[in-house]
Amino acid sequence: ITVLISTHDVDFAYEWADEVMVFHKGSLLADGTPQDVFSRRDLLARANLKPPVVLEMFDRLCQKGILKSSLALPKNMAELESYIEKVNLNTLSGGKVTLKNAEKKAILVVSFGTSHEDTRKVTIDAIEEAIGKTYPDYTIYRAWTSKMIIKKLKNRDNVIVPTVREAMEKMAEDGITDVVVQPTHVINGIENDLMKEDALSYRDRFHSILFGDPLLTTTEDSHRVIEAIAHEFPQLTDRQALVLMGHGTTHFSNAIYAALDYTFKDAGYPNIFLGTVEAYPSLDSILKLVKCYGPEEIILAPFMIVAGDHAKNDMAGDDPDSWYSRFTEEGYKVSTVLKGLGQYPEIRQIFIDHIGQVIGE
Query: Cβ(341)–Cβ(303) under 8 Å?
Result: yes
Does residue 247 carry a catalytic annotation? yes
> Which residues partner with 106 through β-bridges?
139, 179
Q: Determine the Cα–Cα distance for residues 29 and 195; give it in Å rounded to an integer.
A: 41
* Per-residue DSSP letter, 47: T
Q: How many CB atoms lie within 10 A of CB 79?
A: 15
Helix (H) or strand (E) holding 168: helix 164-173
Long-range pairs for 217-222: beta carbons < 8 A, 24 or more residues apart? 217/90, 217/188, 217/354, 218/90, 221/350, 222/256, 222/259, 222/260, 222/263
Residues 6+ apart with CB under 8 A from 203: 65, 69, 94, 95, 96, 209
The pairing of strands 20-24 and 27-32 is: antiparallel
Looking at 247, 251, 310, 354, which residue is catalytic?
A: 247
* Per-residue DSSP letter, 6: -
Note the Cα 128 to chain centre separation in Å.
Answer: 16
The residues assigned a catalytic role are 247
